[in-house]
Amino acid sequence: MSGLLAGWVALAGPALAADDPARPDARVTHGPSCRPGGVAVEVTAGTVAYAVTLATTRSPDGEDSAELAPGETVVLRTGDVDWGETIDSRLEYAALDGSGTAYTDELDGFSFTRPAEEDCAAITAPPPAEVPPAPMPTPVPEPGAPAGEAVPMPVPGLPAPETAPGAPADGPDAGASVSASAEQVAAGGEVVLSAAGFGAGEQVTVSGPDGTVLGTAVAAPDGTVEVAVRIPDGGVPGPTTLEVVGADSARTAAVNLRVAAAQGPVDPDPLPLPLVAAGLALVTTAAGLVLAAGRRHPADPTGSA
């Protein structure tokens, strides 16, 4: 296996570095592998037209050839290589400008051996069979329950039969989740929703059961988002569902809450009962003094005849 990997690493390098711009340049692009096929070489002509032949030790006269115009590119291929067969290739060039220039590129370092059939079979072996899931437990009736009635039992890995207030509700996209800071909130009060599973920088909208938008926020780089929403006044007390939707990913999550009735107005600073009683006593005493003063008779004048 290490020899096979080393061969593929060698394919990344060029087969010939042409210093003369008139001559073609070539690079090996493929070698023998577990798939059918052989060696493939990409040849690009320089400023002069050339005839090029891809020959091998098993076919010295050539396995593929082409004539290239200046700047033209062609891919030459050998025939299929058998399991475990080693193939050594070379390129033979001949200029077509009448100069008689001809030379051979031995493609040093590009001798390949196709892997053995059993090695390839081991690489492509099918994965082990999946273990069937364990059977679901049979519901057990509660003590004292009527005959024939059973209580649903939670199964590991599956959602509970009922969603508790404040827990994430089922949504169309299991990749997103949301939870609330409180299970119960009064009408007109605020609750903080914490959600995850959205795209970084994505705008997330919180809506009520009637579609009213209650708040928006932008998801953090890790896909989490936190937004405080106010429950509308005048709503009917009882269970409600808030939905969180991502604008770009369309991911959705929902959370169940219980809305309590709004509290009535209360005197912000009522007087203590002892102070009220003391005030009433003071008023009564003052009224008695006024009445007594009104009934006082004037004194007889002094020195009267």
25-54 tens-digit pLDDT: 999 988 888 889 899 999 999 999 999 999
- Convert the pLDDT of each residue in 114-138 to its tens digit: 999 888 888 766 666 677 777 766 6
pLDDT of residue 75: 95
Shared domain for 15 and 90, answered yes or no, is yes
CATH number of the CATH domain containing 189: 2.60.40.1930
The reply to whether 74 falls in a domain is yes
Q: Evaluate the CA torsion angle 158, 161, 164, 166 in order and state its sign.
A: positive
| Mean pLDDT value across residues 201-212 | 89
Q: Alpha helices of 186-304 — where are they, by DSSP H? A: 273-294
The two beta strands, 184-186 and 252-260, are parallel
Residue 156: inside a domain? no
Residue 170, phi-psi category: left (phi > 0), alpha (psi -120 to 50), beta (remainder): beta
DSSP string, 208-228: -TTS-EEEEEE--TTS-EEEE
Rounded to two decimals, what is the model's pTM? 0.39
Is residue 109 located within the same domain as residue 196? no
- Measured distance CA(165)–CA(167) in Å, rounded: 6
- The residue type found at 168 is P
Pairwise pLDDT comparison (141 vs 172), residue with the higher score: 141
Range of the domain at 71: 2-123
Total number of domains constituting the chain: 2
> Is there a single domain that holds both residue 86 and residue 190?
no
The whole-number pLDDT of residue 203 equals 92
Residues 6+ apart with CB under 8 A from 206: 193, 213, 214, 215, 216, 217, 227, 229, 242, 243, 244
Partners of 152 in beta bridges:
none
Percent of the chain beyond pLDDT 70? 64
Please tell me whether residue 24 adopts helix, strand or coil conformation: coil
Average per-residue pLDDT for the chain: 76
DSSP class of 96? S
